[in-house]
Amino acid sequence: MIHHFEKGTDPASPTLLLLHGTGGSERDLAGVGRMISGGSNLLGVRGNVSENGMARFFRRLAEGVFDEEDLVFRTRELNEFIAEAAERYGFDRSRVAAVGYSNGANIAASLLFHLPDSLQGAVLFHPMVPRRGIPLPDLSGTPIFIGAGRNDPLCPPAESEELAELLAGAGADVRLHWENNGHQLSRSEVLQAASWFRETF
C-alpha cells in the first residue's frame, strides 16, 4: 500500500498507524500523530480504494452505507500490510495503535471488530459503527479513545454511543470524548486524545 514511515525516537512507544479520511493521503495525520505521541514511529497509509479520485479505505454504496464484502477484504489487506511494514521497518507488530479520522476511523474500528490482535489500542476520530449483527471478538483491556461531535451529521451522537457500547461490551476500555463540533477534526479533541494516550501507554 502507498505509505509514509517516520522512525520515532522512543522505542517504548507504540507505532502509530495513521488512517486518513475520504480524499486524504498517507501524510494527512502526521502532525496529529506527532501531537498524540511525539516519540512514536508513524506509519501513514493511503487507502487502496478510489471514489472519483478520492482515496478511501473501503468502498461504500452510498454515504454512510458500506460495501461490507469490500470492508472485510480491505480490513484483511490492511492487516497484512501492517505485518509487512513491521518486517520492513523493524517495528514490533504487536505494538501498533491506530489513529484514524472518519473513513480511516471506520477501518480502524473494523480491524477491532474482525481481527482482535491487530491493534494494541486505537484513537478513533468521528467513527461510525463499521458493521452490525456480528459477534465481536474479546477486546478485554484494549484502550480506545473515541472523539465525537454532538453536531456531526455523518456520525450522529447515537451512533457514537452505539459504537462505544459495542466496544465496551466486548471488554474494551473506552473513553468517549464529546465536542460541540460537527464532523471536522478539532485541535481540542486531538489534545484530549494526546493526554489520554500519555495516561494509557
Catalytic one among 4, 173, 183, 186? Answer: 183
Estimate the crossing angle of helix 157-169 against helix 103-114, to 10 degrees: 20
Min dist CB 21 to ligand MLT, Å, is 5
Near ligand MLT by CB under 6 A: residue from 103, 120, 142, 160: 103
* Backbone conformation region of residue 53, classed left if phi is above 0, alpha if psi is from -120 to 50, else beta: left
Residue 21 CA to chain centroid, in angstroms?
10
Mention every residue, 6+ apart, whose C-beta is less than 8 A from residue 80: none
Catalytic one among 13, 37, 40, 102? Answer: 102
User: Is residue 25 a contact partner of residue 55, using CB atoms and an 8 Å limit?
Assistant: yes
Near ligand MLT by CB under 6 A: residue from 8, 15, 18, 22: 22
41 binds ligand MLT (CB under 6 A): no
- Is 70 labeled as catalytic in the residue annotation? no
Which residue's CB atom is positioned nearest to ligand MLT?
103
- Is 28 labeled as catalytic in the residue annotation? no
Near ligand MLT by CB under 6 A: residue from 9, 12, 52, 63: 63
CA neighbor of 60 nearest in space, from 74, 40, 76: 74
Q: Which residue numbers are catalytic?
A: 102, 152, 183
